[in-house]
Amino acid sequence: MPSEKVPFNRPCFGGNEYLYMGQALERLHISGDGYFSKQAQMFLEREIGTAKALLTTSCTDALEMSALLLGIGEGDEVIVPSFTFVSTANAYALRGARVRFADIRPDTLNMDERQVESLINERTKATVPVHYAGVGCEMDALNALAKRHGIAIVEDNAHGLFGTYRGRNLGTFGSMATQSFHETKNFSCGEGGALIINDSTLIPRAEIVREKGTNRSQFFRGQVDKYTWVDVGSSFLPSDLLAACLLAQLERKETIQSTRKAIWESYYRELNRWAERYGVGLPIVPKHCEQAYHMFYLLMPTLADRQAFIQHTKERGLMCVFHYLPLNASPMGEAQGASAGECPVTETVSDLLVRLPFFNNMTLAEQQRVIEGVLAFQPKGRPHPLLESRKNLATE
């Protein structure tokens, strides 16, 4: 058995990362908003088709900016999926809002749009759909709800860059969207993010909030003759060194996305019959969604099978990992008034889901080893009823 491990993720710098980072040093401008930040922002604006993209130090920071821009505060409520990364919720809790958790759909594992309405009340300010695994949420329904109740949508698009819903780019549906360029995402500069602003009335204040509450951006454009403290804000700009690394990654968009597509499709093709035989769930991508190929997951029949699977693959040097714990059942979730048992689909999925190694420079041999490792595993449990039900749900 080969001794080399197949990691869950491995960073890949296959383009102009070294060249551009060297150039950033030579330009003697490695603080924020230098040449490479502007290039990366323009790239995102052009490719996504949005009014403004502002680089941030993380997706977490972009979410925090969205909370500041929406004026979220004490007494407000924000609806997020219970199956997400903590930052989706934390950004609003940090402003004093109460976070409400909607359960997810069993098919796409996205926030269940039908549950959102029951959580809306007069205090609701916003909802934050997460396009899980880069597959679009039901944005038609969510948009209609948001319009009817006058609430904002912020898309947490950490997984979904360059995915589409009904032909439209993810990240262009909400008044704002947030991107992550963390090491584990499709495009990475280690730690990084962006705030996508579709509602252009938010742009002037976004620039101020991002620049420590000052009108420094206007000053640099010559629109004011000195800059000063005009609003609340913080420091959300990444170094231009990181932007240089990011630009090199973004420029390889076609290669990176087509490589990830090939890896995803090969997993699906090779594991399909095994999954069918043992009642293992595979990702479901509705026809009207073009996914961003962020991850490949399995839903094992039972928690015991999931744990045995992680052990089995680990013994073969294959790093497979579980994902989010239900936020509604977390200590902070409970402090927000939620409790275990409220989001049964999330709670089940959280027990059953396992993610396979998936990264931009995964070799065919590495993927073959993972596939063989999976095929050698025989789940023993009776599939959870949720796995049967999800087959018939995918939306048209």
Ligand X SMILES: *Cc1c(COP(=O)(O)O)cnc(C)c1O
Residue 355, interface with ligand X (CB under 6 A)? no
Closer residue to ligand X in complex, CB, 84/127: 84
Q: Which residues, 6 or more positions from 311, have their beta carbon under 8 angstroms from its beta carbon?
A: none
Residue 159, interface with ligand X (CB under 6 A)? yes
Closer residue to ligand X in complex, CB, 56/313: 56
Residues 285-324 that bind ligand X (CB under 6 A): none
- The mark string for 78-117 relative to ligand X (x by CB under 6 A, - otherwise) is ------xx-xx-----------------------------
Closer residue to ligand X in complex, CB, 179/215: 179
- The mark string for 41-70 relative to ligand X (x by CB under 6 A, - otherwise) is -----------------xxx----------
User: If you count them, how many residues does the chain have?
Assistant: 396
Residue 130, interface with ligand X (CB under 6 A)? yes
Q: How far apart are CA 291 and CA 389, in angstroms?
A: 22
Residue 9, interface with ligand X (CB under 6 A)? no
Q: Which residues, 6 or more positions from 199, have their beta carbon under 8 angstroms from its beta carbon?
A: 51, 175, 176
CB 247 within 8 A of CB 39: yes
Interacting residue with ligand X among 193, 301, 326, 333 (CB under 6 A): 193
Q: How far apart are CA 241 and CA 245, in angstroms?
A: 7
Q: How far apart are CA 247 and CA 161, in angstroms?
A: 14
In angstroms, what is the minimal distance from the CB of 235 to ligand X?
15
Written as six digits, the tokens of 112 are: 């269940």
Closer residue to ligand X in complex, CB, 242/374: 242
- Measured CA to CA in angstroms, residue 139 lies from 2, 48, 121, 161, 175 at distances of 45, 16, 20, 15, 13
CB 170 within 8 A of CB 157: yes
In angstroms, what is the minimal distance from the CB of 87 to ligand X?
4
Residue 176, interface with ligand X (CB under 6 A)? no
In angstroms, what is the minimal distance from the CB of 390 to ligand X?
21
